[in-house]
Structure 1
Amino acid sequence: MRPFLLLGLCPIWWMACHTSRSSNGPAPVDEAVANVQDTVLIRLHKGSCYGQCPTYQLELHASGRAVLSPRRFMPVDSTRTAVWPMEEILSAFDAAGFDRFLPEYMQPIADIPTFRLSYRGKEVKWNGRAPQPLLDLVTLLDRYTVKEGWLEEERAFRAKPAYRVDRELIVQLKPGTDVPLWLYLYDDVGMEILRKIVPSGEYLLVTYDQDRVEPDTLLERVRADQQVVLANFNKEVDLRD
């Protein structure tokens, strides 16, 4: 009888093993999906200043989960979470051309906060003046932060109104551009470098002779230059509250 008993148990053993494998099979896939959804796509860090600037870190995950870690001068004193509309936010970051920003836009100003904003692994650091699209992204994130009650509206970041300075252009050149040679191409309008915004010399503040060319005409010409990544008029803003 023993051989028959063993044979009778085999189908039961096979079904148990098969069921176990089936139930455990999808787990790695589910775990992978969970990991993707938990990926941090956007991270904003606001540094401190000599005054009562709100200081915090905000993380946005692929799933839409927003996580605020308050540091100082915030209406909340512990971690907060919510779900935000990532489609709108990601569209804004892509439209801003985040991948074209330089790694740093730092000014020699001690009493204003330093910002760090990262998107899909790339981080940009600045204080004070920075490209307008970059500042607009912080304004967007702070709008949602205020809506959640995590930040007081009067302390939210807003890109301040700026006034165009026609006589000055901010130009970002492609890496490896021969700056003196590039400048020579605009000798007909008397273009000169006022200063290098970053030491590498790829980000310049330039001026020119307005008697030789209209401001908008020159800007259009510079933007069409194959060696130029970005170009815009300089703007006068008040960097301090």
Structure 2
Amino acid sequence: MNILDTIIERKKQEILDSKSKISLQQLKESEFFGRTTYSLKETIASKSGIIAEFKRQSPSKGIINNQVSTLEVVSEYEKFGASAVSILTDQGFFGGSFDDILSVRKSVNSPILRKDFMIDEYQFFEAKSMGADVILLIAASLSPNQVSEFTELAHQLDLEVLLEIHTEEELLHINKNIDFVGINNRNLKDFKVDLQHSVNLKNQLPYDILSIAESGIYSEQDFKFLKEKGFDGFLMGEYFMKNENPGNKFSEFIFNVTI
């Protein structure tokens, strides 16, 4: 199995464990379940366009930064102009947790993307209960029908949907209700990065859909290249998180790409 298959198999067991501990009704009765969500569609153009990510580790890079607090980092992301923040909630492979979102929700007035491997309806109710505003659907782990059904459920819960693709075949997963299409510059099966491949895919998207360049953006030059190619937003994490102070690195980056 490739790494994505391995993650999905483990995720199935995690979901079973979660269901045995917290019922759907308990999720619906949680503090944040009834809150009005923030819209990334509204902030993507009005700020930097960057969805700045909090990520402690990854399967390809190992430990990136596990010495900083979620609240400190995402507060600075917001302060310096992030359109949204992305927070990993996968524990086994990315070192995240639900508490990473719960701990910042009251302090952050920006959209929060729950970054995880969404394969079960239960996870959407989890996302709503922890205060997320946007969820990620990964085409490589879902069928087009699942993407359609999960998008409908997400919208019923007032959550926006970012669909991530990496191949031409995955263009078939796009439907008219998707809020954003993210093109992953990194292949989740072998972790190779190819920015030009992402540009080629973007040119095949429906003309009226918002596009997000995801992952593998390692420099100001990478960012400017993708922006010039017409991407509406940019999901970036490692570039900031590998710094001792991710917030300062984000502030510096924003200054340099906007002068």
| TM-score range for the pair, normalised by the shorter chain length | under 0.3
Task: Give the TM-score, by structure 1 length.
Answer: 0.21
The answer to which structure has the higher helix fraction is 2
The structure with more strand, counted as a fraction of residues: 1
Which protein is bigger by CA-based radius of gyration? 1
TM-score (norm 2): 0.20
Higher normalized contact order (CA 8 Å, seq sep 6+, divided by chain length) = 2
